[in-house]
Amino acid sequence: MRILVMSDIHANYTALQAVLKDAGAADETWCLGDLVGYGPDPNAVVEEVREIKNLTCLMGNHDVALTGGISMETFNGEAKRALLYHEKVLSPANLDFIRSLPSAVKVRGEATLAHGSPRDPLWEYILNSMIASLNFDHFETPWCFVGHSHVQCSFTQKEKGTRVVVQQTAPNVAIQLAPKMILNPGSVGQPRDRDSRAAYAIYDSEARTWTPRRVPYNIAEVQKRIREAGLPEKHAARIAAGW
């Protein structure tokens, strides 16, 4: 199966559209959470995701804040401002969809899916080899796909207890998967790896390959909507620079 794996759309509808178009036909779509937060288009993003066929979608930490599952005080002031705006504008049906998302890990074939990490699915960032190595004992499948850090990368553990190799993965270069790996498709709507293009990955479950991809989108258009909605200027600035 050809599976589109994406994460952290963060209410950026233009980036989502670019990813769906660029990815082409997929047998399944796995979304690792954070449909909302930061961006100007929470309703358009949730509506588009709801339409995707054969979808597995997890809840992210920004999503759970909107369901009342945790306090918004957990977020910094600027992130909280966007969430309060989303809370105000989201339609009841879209909010219901977010509430229906699972916050625990999901296993799909040879892959475990988590928003943050397999041992702390909503909150933990896997950003370095130390945190990654602590997580390899928390999933049984050969590989695990995570989002949350907004960095397109891979973590490889050759043997149990050995050093974990971290790599920022190159777009369009297929990686042959081998046990055990943790892979991050990057963020659709707010990349933080100094590449402003929307990030995602294609997972081929038969060939056991993972291909990171990047696609440019009209960032200025999204910045305009961020400003029109009165959201923090920082959210507009960062999507242009990829941080």
The nearer residue to Zn ion, 19 or 177, going by C-beta atoms, is: 19
Q: How far is the CB of 140 from Zn ion (least distance, A)?
A: 26
The nearer residue to Zn ion, 8 or 41, going by C-beta atoms, is: 8
C-alpha distances in Å from residue 79, one per residue of 73, 112, 163: 10, 28, 35
How many residues interact with Zn ion (rule CB under 5 A)? 2
Using CB under 5 A as the binding rule, whether residue 193 contacts Zn ion is answered as no
Q: How far is the CB of 67 from Zn ion (least distance, A)?
A: 16
Q: How far is the CB of 77 from Zn ion (least distance, A)?
A: 17
Pairing state between β 164-168 and 152-157: antiparallel
Pairing state between β 111-114 and 106-108: antiparallel
CA distance 52 to 23: 13
The nearer residue to Zn ion, 177 or 217, going by C-beta atoms, is: 217
The nearer residue to Zn ion, 10 or 180, going by C-beta atoms, is: 10
Beta bridge partners of 154: 167, 183
Beta bridge partners of 28: 3
Q: How far is the CB of 127 from Zn ion (least distance, A)?
A: 13
Q: How far is the CB of 8 from Zn ion (least distance, A)?
A: 4
Write out the two tokens for 243: 């941080």
The nearer residue to Zn ion, 84 or 174, going by C-beta atoms, is: 84
Write out the two tokens for 161: 């207890």
Other beta carbons within 10 angstroms of residue 61's beta carbon come to 22
CA distance 222 to 238: 12
Residue entry with tokens 């449909």: 35
80 CB burial (10 A radius; 0-12, 13-18, 19+): middle
Q: How far is the CB of 148 from Zn ion (least distance, A)?
A: 6
Omega into 106 within 30° of 0, i.e. cis? no
Q: Which of residues 2-31 bind Zn ion (CB under 5 A)?
A: 8
Q: Which stretch binds Zn ion (CB under 5 A): 1-9, 64-72, 154-162, 201-209?
A: 1-9
C-alpha dihedral sign at 108, 133, 161, 6: positive
Using CB under 5 A as the binding rule, whether residue 34 contacts Zn ion is answered as yes
The nearer residue to Zn ion, 70 or 142, going by C-beta atoms, is: 70
- Which residues here bind Zn ion, judged by CB under 5 A? 8, 34
